[in-house]
Chain A
């Protein structure tokens, strides 16, 4: 089958959606499908047309056109997309809806008719979906809407109730880890947070919880892997609370290296205050046999089963987070059991092959509908 992926960011950009769409594209190609990607330069001088791992990647200046109202770039991108669609002739288009570049897809619908699956890989809750919005047009015109968690499906339905009969869930997945990780360390416990250093991730809540954790376990350290605009604020907060020497800012870490870090920690903390669409960091922790302390945010409670594979705490509740971490540190047997069950759940419920199977089945269904 000929499948066109539409995603604002794609390899070599690194991030949740770009990595996931890349892995899915490669896996589909390995099963005999022809996959092409329409994507954006996103402010970087990349080749307009390139092949990577058997996938044709076609880049346009979507971001530059729309963020700077550059109609010359808009016109060029629209023409380029129309030409590409006419040449590639996809049988199904999957849009990873994270940005307004989908406008170019709708503007070029007439160039080549193919059913469109709109995947929702980020929380849409703060958007409005009234008349005269691209969000409304996108939800209305999609032949199928694919959410990566039940929480995201609920968000889509809340924004536009009529999408309910054509909206389903395929949980995210990750490639199986290359290594299994160390035994959980308890003598010098490591609590790991990972992601962009932005307020929505709630890493400040983890820092806020640290003094109480250190009172019981003075040798504990909080590792924060990632970079972003909140870094100096987080450092200031750690200093203000007198815990700076126990917080290690790892900076940006490549995905493969992040898996290794995960395999060295005692637990992973996901304190997001935004509605997480899914919780890839939590899933990676489970793959590596780590218990997870996660906020009850968006799709996180669907990934982490409370009291089974981790502990769910209220959003922005530093005291509850501290208590959960202390409970795991005080009971290594519980932490290890949760880690084991997490590994089993990751392999069974979030298996990568199943993830690809489900996409294939959806494409077949949409194509022949």
Chain B
């Protein structure tokens, strides 16, 4: 799978639902029920993909926000984007309007390699010991 570091990507909205909560992203493949989470730096990368940034722009921004080198950031962002492509979570997109420069924080945050966590066993776990609604102590609903 080839990666174009100057190219644009977007979330694969046809099959994906996603949300960002306090900087962390949670994605659900609606076709398979597989859950994904992108925490911390990975959540930052996801938001920038959704904001129409190229891989290079994302890496530059990451190096500005977190305590890492531009080279390390580029390598890590490329790895993550390749993984997202492999999982069909993103697809190539047309160039978007250049985004306005975002302000930089006073201090850079500690850096952690952005990673994608996936959970392929959610439906198995839902079936493990499902609740039987209606069984209540003294038939109370409190």
Partners in one complex: yes
Report A's interface with B, CB cutoff 8 A. Answer: 8-9, 11-15, 17, 40, 42-47, 50, 52, 63, 66-67, 69, 71-72, 74-75, 78-79, 82, 98-100, 103, 107, 122, 124, 126-128, 132-135, 137, 196, 228, 252, 254
With A133-B119, A134-B122: A98-B21 Cβ-Cβ less than 8 Å: no
Residue of B21, B28, B117, B128 touching A69 (CB-CB under 8 A): B28
Q: Name the residue on B nearest A252 (C-beta).
A: B135
Residue B3 interfacial (CB < 8 Å): no
What CA separation (Å) do A135 and B137 show in the bound complex? 30
Contact A13 B119 (CB under 8 A): no
Q: Name the residue on B nearest A74 (C-beta).
A: B26
Contact B131 A12 (CB under 8 A): no
What CA separation (Å) do A133 and B131 show in the bound complex? 22
Q: Name the residue on B nearest A126 (C-beta).
A: B124
Q: Which residues of B sit under 8 angstroms from A75, Cβ to Cβ?
A: 19, 21, 26
Residue B47 interfacial (CB < 8 Å): no
Q: Which residues of B sit under 8 angstroms from A124, Cβ to Cβ?
A: 128
Choose among B39, B140, B142 the residue with the greatest number of A CB atoms under 10 Å from its CB: B142
Q: Which residues of B sit under 8 angstroms from A196, Cβ to Cβ?
A: 132
Residue B37 interfacial (CB < 8 Å): yes
Contact A12 B142 (CB under 8 A): yes
Report the 8 A-B pairs with minimum CB-CB distance, sorted nearest first: A100-B125, A42-B131, A98-B129, A71-B19, A133-B121, A132-B118, A134-B119, A12-B137
Residue of A8, A13, A128 touching B124 (CB-CB under 8 A): A128
Residue of B26, B131, B132 touching A228 (CB-CB under 8 A): B132
Binary contact track B103-142/A, C-beta < 8 Å → 1, others 0: 0000000000000011111101110111111011110111
Q: Which residues of A sit under 8 angstroms from B129, Cβ to Cβ?
A: 8, 17, 98-99, 122
Choose among B24, B118, B129 the residue with the greatest number of A CB atoms under 10 Å from its CB: B129
Contact A127 B135 (CB under 8 A): no
Q: Is the interface of A mostly helix, strand, loop or mixed?
A: loop
Question: What is the CB-to-nearest-CB distance from B117 to chain A, in angstroms, rounded to a whole number?
Answer: 7
What CA separation (Å) do A75 and B43 show in the bound complex? 14
Binary contact track B42-53/A, C-beta < 8 Å → 1, others 0: 000000000000
Residue B95 interfacial (CB < 8 Å): no
What CA separation (Å) do A124 and B122 show in the bound complex? 14
Number of chain B residues whose Cβ lies closer than 8 Å to a Cβ of chain A: 35
Residue B13 interfacial (CB < 8 Å): no
Contact B30 A69 (CB under 8 A): yes
What CA separation (Å) do A72 and B21 show in the bound complex? 10
Choose among B26, B119, B133 the residue with the greatest number of A CB atoms under 10 Å from its CB: B119
Q: Which residues of B sit under 8 angstroms from A137, Cβ to Cβ?
A: 117, 119
Q: Name the residue on B nearest A22 (C-beta).
A: B137
Question: What is the CB-to-nearest-CB distance from B108 to chain A, in angstroms, rounded to a whole number?
Answer: 18
Contact A127 B128 (CB under 8 A): yes
- Would you mind naming 24 contact pairs between A and B with Cβ atoms under 8 Å apart? A14-B136, A14-B137, A42-B131, A44-B141, A66-B122, A66-B126, A71-B19, A74-B19, A74-B21, A75-B19, A75-B21, A78-B22, A98-B128, A99-B125, A99-B126, A99-B130, A107-B26, A122-B129, A127-B128, A132-B119, A133-B119, A134-B35, A134-B121, A196-B132
Q: Which residues of A sit under 8 angstroms from B140, Cβ to Cβ?
A: 12
Residue B33 interfacial (CB < 8 Å): yes
Residue B93 interfacial (CB < 8 Å): no
Residue B60 interfacial (CB < 8 Å): no
